[in-house]
Structure 1
Amino acid sequence: MTQIITSLSEISDRYDALFVDLWGCVHNGISALPEAVAALHTYKAGGGKVVLVTNSPRPRDSVAHQIKGMGVPDDCWDTIATSGDSARAAMFRGIVGQKVYFIGEDRDLAFFTPLKIVEDAIDIQQVPLAEAEGIVCAGPFDPMADPSVYRADFLYAKAKGLKLLCANPDIVVDRGETREWCAGALAQLYTEMGGESLYFGKPFPPIYDLARRRLAALGVDVPNIGILAIGDGIQTDIKGAMGEDIDSLFISGGLAAEQTKTSHQPDPDALSDYLKKEMMSPSFAIGQLR
């Protein structure tokens, strides 16, 4: 049964490392959440390691620069694992071919920055859909447009047998008070239409493998029992943690604030109903990371 807690410090001494989601937990897409930053500072002061595990399609250096601009200080985390880095490694190994059709905004073009860690990386070329061997999706061209606008292109791509590499499995995010579509919504549509979508972020194993490698690179060996995953995505952060057999802290005041009737803290009955509906069982829940 999920235990509702009032602060991370109630349980933090049980864990040597945190896998922390960013959007909805540490920032709201516009600025840092001060209580979350303070909680991470306190945790690190006690000797714990913080790995930011994000479904951002960007490289980790780009994410570090982005969140610093939002007011998330460098000293509240230790390292970053991004869906983008995990997916980029697969792309440069040719998982969707050499000639790819790119779906995303200009700000996501860093996805194509060469990766030195991939041996014998192929030379990726961006081409029109008619010339493509595969699709790379970092997000919609317009995050406010319904994913159904891609249906015609996806019918064509499916007929050609193209695979779609999804660099961000999130379905939606909230930028401040505005809800936006993510790459995961497009990949979901493509799969529903009979196409093949490949995922590398939460809740899928590759990003957790990357997070563990980044944690090991810090010089610590932390077993699953010593890791706590924190996030507001019930079908990404929490599902992924359960699949990896690690404990989780659900931030109910993020994407599911309405369903869980969260203001400062979730309504226990609403939270229970929501978790039953989603068929998920996080170890703990809290309104916001604090």
Structure 2
Amino acid sequence: MASEFLGAARGLLACPVCGEPLDLVADGDRLVRAACKAGHSFDVARQGHLNLLGSAQPANADTVEMVEARTRVLASGAFDAVDAVLARRGSAARTVLDVGGGTGHHLARLLDALPAARGVSLDVSVPAARRAAKAHPRLASVVADAWGALPLRSRRFDLVTCLFAPRNMAEFARVLADRGLLLVVTPDAEHLASIRDTYGLLGIEGDKDDRLLRSASGHFETIGRQRVRSRVDADAALVRDLIAMGPNAFHGVPQDVEAIETRVAVSLWLFRPLR
């Protein structure tokens, strides 16, 4: 059952109230809550995820419709090339954190390639966390705000991944082990460019690379950058889903779309924490 997947997070979670370690508590064969020694307790949702947000999800969190669109896009194989590179770069990891993990797809594919590893998918969206809770037996799904103090213990992760998600570099450095690795995926200028240009979607900021490196400064050393490119022959349904899965969905998804050839074009950045 999905709640048992939370066992993947044993020894990794911290109380979002006081910072003490969180223990998972079972009732028979089912995990029912997480609790710390100070008495703070958090119930496991019946769908199998653990909500440590402490408030309602923000208005910009992924909706049910966005999560469904993302699920279909990822099932299409459009981002398989990205998953393959993540698996190669993270091959030494045994504990993995995926920040902004969404549906759990990317972490699940990574765990498929790492049979001895376990991971935590962290996302602020409850609909996304529900989906992630069923993504992989060695994946624990947690609802939390990536911009705040992460409800995770210090220096417990060999690998942190962050794909198109908020980057809290100070917290990433805190939870990574001394020789841990941070992998950040960012869109390049040509990423889905034909779709963005055709339908007037949100652009990609010209200074995004500089902002990433500035945010890493003082917490990480940059050890590499790999560009990933793959062609996507998108039919009309996939084009609509590519628009509907991201922030453009909050501005409306066009219904009258056509098949188009586009490209996944991203950079995979590699960082080591400064100690």
Instruction: Give TM-score, length-normalised by structure 2.
Output: 0.35
Determine which structure has the larger strand proportion and give its number.
Answer: 2
Determine which structure has the larger helix proportion and give its number.
Answer: 1
If asked which structure has higher relative contact order (CA below 8 Å, sep 6+), I would say 1
Instruction: Give TM-score, length-normalised by structure 1.
Output: 0.34
